[in-house]
Amino acid sequence: MANRILPFITLVFFSTLFSMVIGDDGVAISKQYPLVVSTWPFKEAVRAAWRAVDGGHSAVDAVVEGCSACEELRCDGTVGPGGSPDENGETTIDALIMNGVTMEVGAVAAMRFVKDGIRAAKLVMQHTKHTLLVGEKASAFSISMGLPGPSNLSSSDSIMKWSKWKENNCQPNFWKDVVPLDSCGPYHAKASMDVKDGGCSTRNLMGVAEPRSSLVGPHNHDTISMAVIDKMGHVAVGTSTNGATYKIPGRVGDGPIAGSSAYADTDVGACGATGDGDIMMRFLPWYCNEYQSFYFLNDEVILGKPSADRKYAQLTGNFAWFGSIRNNKLVWVVYELILKFETFPANMRLVFLIHYQVVESMRLGMEPRLAAKDAISRIARKFPDFVGAVVAVNKNGVHAGACHGWTFEYSVRSPVTVDVEVFTVLP
Ligand SMILES: *[C@@H]1O[C@H](CO)[C@@H](O)[C@H](O)[C@H]1NC(C)=O
């Protein structure tokens, strides 16, 4: 290792840290929380969370109040009961809560007959040593713990939507490589001889996914994903959704998966996502390892001109250093190695999911805007048609969003705003 280089790296790294430290001690900071950030202009939900957190409740309780308000209001028809019918016309609920102080998580998925998703998730977190309960067993648990049910989660709206979809030969739907293609099921796998245009299509060979935009839009794929920082500076996140409209029964997206739909770490911040959960839940931070901005530093740091096809990295003990050019400056980020694979750095840290990576990026001093953008662009490289958004907030209350395939809005309430403010993010 080139010792002459190390002071330089350390210097740049600490200057990244330094800006965070300034933030920590800055006067502006004390005004930045409590703070509530939510996907979409779900203003009533943000107000409900704000009332709780401003009244001195914990971040966890405020998240429950906020998401619960959305469930009651059936935000956009995609949160709470009465929306997003599956192929059988049934509405089911997915929800997640995460305490960024204790790193405890509670979640329910594909829960039937109980409308209080976020409260059920909190009961899982509070009263079990598990993380995720699913299906009818999640319903039984929730009812046994005092939540109302069993109730009919359908509404005249959802039933009407579903009837129309049936009349339209069950189009669009989430099946692929099956027969029949253009009518309702039951479906069967296409015999492999028929698959010459399907399973091994040029599209697949080229690594491009099927377009799915017709199924995914603002009114059939929303999730409330909410982050709260309370007066103590503690961070919590929660999500609630009734999933994708016309989903195949049993489908669970990113909503109830910690690290995929949302993640919180009080030392760093939080992030939340909305969009095509089937896609978003597939992405690991190092999945592609296609950072054009990373330079491979083997034994020696090469400070020459960046070239897109060269990747530099350097290992010092348990830390990996990555350099990237931003605004003509070489900026270093440092990752602590948890898992080290032979093919470093390709498979390094395979353990982290995408939004965790947003939090990770922020832990290393990346501002929320870059961290969020980074996470989204990684997916967009593989799934150009995908529709999704991420909102990130660091522990100082600085927030930002990033999106792909649609215009995204998120809502914020902090001591410096009089009411909920809505921010628009363009793809
Ligand atoms: C549930 O509610 C929907 C909409 O009101 C209704 O059409 C359906 O018959 C109800 N299902 C049951 C089992 O009561």
Determine, yes or no, domain membership for 239: yes
Determine, yes or no, domain membership for 216: no
> What's the CA gap between 69 and 157, in Å, rounded?
20
Q: Which atom of ligand 1 is nearest to the CA of 155?
A: 4
Determine, yes or no, domain membership for 217: no
Mutate to test the pocket of ligand 1, among 88, 154, 161 (most ligand atoms within 8 A of CB): 154
pLDDT in the model for residue 300: 32
260: CATH:
3.60.20.30
Say which range, 2-11, 36-45, 55-64, 234-243, has the weakest mean pLDDT.
2-11
Of the ranges 187-201, 349-363, 369-383, the best mean pLDDT one: 369-383
Mutate to test the pocket of ligand 1, among 159, 162, 163, 166 (most ligand atoms within 8 A of CB): 159
**Could you tell me the pLDDT band of residue 377, with boundaries at 50, 70 and 90?**
confident
Considering only CA atoms, which of 21, 22, 29, 69 is closest in space to residue 415? 29
> What's the CA gap between 385 and 373, in Å, rounded?
16
**Which residues are bridge partners to 98 per DSSP?**
105, 237
Classify burial at 314, counting beta carbons within 10 Å of its beta carbon; exposed 0-12, middle 13-18, buried 19 or more. buried
**Could you tell me the pLDDT band of residue 214, with boundaries at 50, 70 and 90?**
low
Q: How far is the CA of 159 from the centre of ligand 1 (A)?
A: 8
SS (H, E, C) the chain: CCCCCHHHHHHHHHHHHHHHHHHHHCHHHHCCCCEEEEECCCHHHHHHHHHHHHCCCCHHHHHHHHHHHHHHHCHHHCCCCCCCCCCCCCCCEEEEEEECCCCCEEEEEEECCCCCHHHHHHHHHHHCCCCEEEHHHHHHHHHHCCCCCCCCCCCHHHHHHHHHHHHCCCCCCCCCCEECCCCCCCCEECCHHHHHHCCCCHHHHCCCCCCCHHHCCCCCCCCEEEEEECCCCCEEEEEEECCCCCCCCCCCCCCCCECCCEEEECCCEEEEEEECHHHHCCCCCCCCCCCCCCCECCCCCCCCCCCCCCCECEEECCEEEEEEEECCEEEEEEEECCCCCCCCCCCCCCCCCHHHHHHHHHHCCCCHHHHHHHHHHHHHHHCCCCCEEEEEEECCCCEEEEEECCCEEEEEECCCCCCCEEEEECC
Residue from 91, 223, 241, 245 carrying the catalytic annotation: 223
Q: What is the pLDDT of residues 235-255, one digit of tens each?
A: 999 999 999 999 999 999 999
Residues 390-399: what's their mean pLDDT? 85
pLDDT in the model for residue 206: 43
pLDDT in the model for residue 224: 93
Task: Name residues whose C-beta falls within 8 Å of residue 18's C-beta, 6 or more positions apart in sequence.
Answer: none
155 within ligand 1 shell (Cβ under 6 A): yes
Q: How far is the CA of 172 from the centre of ligand 1 (A)?
A: 24
88 within ligand 1 shell (Cβ under 6 A): no
Say which range, 183-197, 302-316, 324-338, has the weakest mean pLDDT.
302-316
pLDDT in the model for residue 221: 61
pLDDT in the model for residue 324: 59
**Could you tell me the pLDDT band of residue 341, with boundaries at 50, 70 and 90?**
very low
Q: How far is the CA of 226 from the centre of ligand 1 (A)?
A: 31
Pick the more confident residue, 101 or 370.
101
- Please determine, for residue 186, whether its predicted confidence score (pLDDT) is greater than 50: yes
- Residue 340 belongs to domain spanning: 9-30+298-348
Tell me, yes or no, whether 145 and 41 share the same domain: yes
Asked if 352 and 360 count as a contact pair (C-beta separation under 8 A), the reply is: yes
Tell me, yes or no, whether 339 and 404 share the same domain: no
pLDDT in the model for residue 223: 87
Tell me, yes or no, whether 146 and 241 share the same domain: yes
Determine, yes or no, domain membership for 218: no
151 within ligand 1 shell (Cβ under 6 A): no
Of the ranges 138-142, 303-307, 353-357, the best mean pLDDT one: 138-142
Tell me, yes or no, whether 371 and 231 share the same domain: yes
For ligand 1, atom 2: residue with the closest CA: 154
Q: What is the pLDDT of residues 270-329, one digit of tens each?
A: 888 888 888 888 774 322 222 222 232 333 333 322 332 234 445 555 455 555 555 555
Determine, yes or no, domain membership for 197: yes
Tell me, yes or no, whether 227 and 376 share the same domain: yes
Tell me, yes or no, whether 129 and 244 share the same domain: yes
**Could you tell me the pLDDT band of residue 196, with boundaries at 50, 70 and 90?**
very low
Pick the more confident residue, 109 or 390.
109
Pick the more confident residue, 201 or 115.
115
Q: Which atom of ligand 1 is nearest to the CA of 152?
A: 1
- Please determine, for residue 26, whether its predicted confidence score (pLDDT) is greater than 60: no
**Could you tell me the pLDDT band of residue 343, with boundaries at 50, 70 and 90?**
very low
Tell me, yes or no, whether 104 and 134 share the same domain: yes
Tell me, yes or no, whether 111 and 98 share the same domain: yes
Tell me, yes or no, whether 54 and 120 share the same domain: yes
**Could you tell me the pLDDT band of residue 374, with boundaries at 50, 70 and 90?**
confident
Domain count, the chain: 3
**Could you tell me the pLDDT band of residue 334, with boundaries at 50, 70 and 90?**
low
pLDDT in the model for residue 327: 57
154 within ligand 1 shell (Cβ under 6 A): yes
Q: How far is the CA of 239 from the centre of ligand 1 (A)?
A: 26
Residues 368-397: what's their mean pLDDT? 82
CA distances from 122 to 150, 332, 334, 409 (A): 18, 39, 34, 26
> What's the CA gap between 252 and 11, in Å, rounded?
45
Q: What is the pLDDT of residues 252-276, one digit of tens each?
A: 999 999 888 898 988 888 888 888 8
Q: How far is the CA of 152 from the centre of ligand 1 (A)?
A: 6
Determine, yes or no, domain membership for 211: no
**Could you tell me the pLDDT band of residue 106, with boundaries at 50, 70 and 90?**
very high
For ligand 1, atom 11: residue with the closest CA: 152
pLDDT in the model for residue 321: 55
223 is an active site residue: yes
What percent of the chain stands above pLDDT 90? 47
Tokens encoding 124:
């899982």
Tokens encoding 167:
């009349």
**Could you tell me the pLDDT band of residue 91, with boundaries at 50, 70 and 90?**
very high
Determine, yes or no, domain membership for 128: yes
> CA-CA-CA-CA torsion for 368, 374, 379, 382, nearest 10 degrees?
170
pLDDT in the model for residue 102: 95
Tell me, yes or no, whether 286 and 339 share the same domain: no
Using the 3D structure, point to which of 171, 205, 239 is the last residue of a domain: 205
Residues 325-343: what's their mean pLDDT? 46
For ligand 1, atom 12: residue with the closest CA: 152
159 within ligand 1 shell (Cβ under 6 A): yes
Tell me, yes or no, whether 58 and 98 share the same domain: yes
Determine, yes or no, domain membership for 63: yes
Residues 153-157: what's their mean pLDDT? 96
Say which range, 49-63, 110-124, 301-315, 345-359, has the weakest mean pLDDT.
301-315
Q: What is the pLDDT of residues 62-87, one digit of tens each?
A: 999 999 999 999 998 899 999 999 99
Tell me, yes or no, whether 19 and 47 share the same domain: no
Please give the annotated binding residues for substrate, written as ranges: 251-254, 274-277
